[in-house]
Structure 1
């Protein structure tokens, strides 16, 4: 079921690329990421970033934060600095043990140019699964990770 959702997310990205024009292309050279900014809230501590791959390189990151006092994870996706504008960022997260997928960036008209999220996933004593993606006229990338931050 989780792989089906990830396949659906990749298909949505492809459809967005076909229906938009004038998008900024990605270069094949490495770029530094847009600075990580905590949009989750001051109670959330940064845990780790996972890469969103594009053509064998990092095209962006999925950032995970955690609030020890309430058991919520916070997940965001951000592109590299050469993905300047008119891109489609998407972030997806769910509790590993049967949680409902939370999604940000999959609705028509949403056009996140710097980041997608934050998404909040309640998962004390459980792991979460995450997926992040982006799309632009030069291509896009999507990466998913299972069993991250088992808190």
Structure 2
């Protein structure tokens, strides 16, 4: 499995801002619940970090896979130790460097998670992005991963 953390995330998903005094405490996230469907198996969660304080985990991107149809599913959820109330949460997925992004939550006002979004990836890698804007000071976090083995 090859993983590369994207140094720069597509311009449409970059959010500006910061949060003073944010610490990287224990992650207490909205519980991981499979919203993809019963045929999808959980693969792994990836951190969403604050864009100014990289060690501060503000959320997670959960990836699921369906062996029967070859589709991957992604959900983004906030870390409730940092993120409370309604806020923008977004998630995007695609087959690596092939096709357009499938997204949910851009411009949203969600309280717990964004997604599910699906991309075919049998025998291929996937790219995914997740993020959130989480306070009145425009504090935000985002992250993206490319060439992750999907199925």
The counterpart of 1:129, out of the listed 120, 127, 130, is: 127
Would you say 1:45 and 2:41 are equivalent positions?
yes
Task: Give, in angstroms, the shift of residue 6 of structure 1.
Answer: 1.9
Tell me if structure 2 keeps the 8 A contact 1:97–1:126: no
**In the TM superposition, what whole-angstrom CA distance separates every residue of 1:41-71 from its partner, at most 9, and x where no partner exists?**
1000000000001112211100000000000
CA change 1:113–1:61 in 2 (3 A) is same
Distance in 1 (alpha carbons) for counterparts of 2:9 and 2:57: 22
Distance in 1 (alpha carbons) for counterparts of 2:9 and 2:74: 17
Tell me if structure 2 keeps the 8 A contact 1:97–1:127: no
Unaligned runs of 5+ in 2: 1-5
Q: Secondary structure at the match of 1:113?
A: coil
The counterpart of 2:11, out of the listed 7, 10, 23, is: 7
Aligned to 1:57: 56
What RMSD over aligned residues (CA atoms) do the two structures have, in Å? 2.3
Would you say 1:118 and 2:116 are equivalent positions?
yes
Equivalences for 1:80-95 in 2 at 5 Å? 80-82=79-81, 83-95=83-95
**In the TM superposition, what whole-angstrom CA distance separates every residue of 1:73-107 from its partner, at most 9, and x where no partner exists?**
01000000131212110101110141220010114
Calculate the TM-score normalised by the size of structure 2: 0.81
Distance in 2 (alpha carbons) for counterparts of 1:28 and 1:3: 22
Aligned to 1:66: 65
Q: How many residues align?
A: 137
CA change 1:26–1:41 in 2 (3 A) is farther
Task: Give, in angstroms, the shift of residue 26 of structure 1.
Answer: 8.8
Aligned to 2:3: none
Distance in 2 (alpha carbons) for counterparts of 1:60 and 1:5: 16
Unaligned runs of 5+ in 1: 18-24
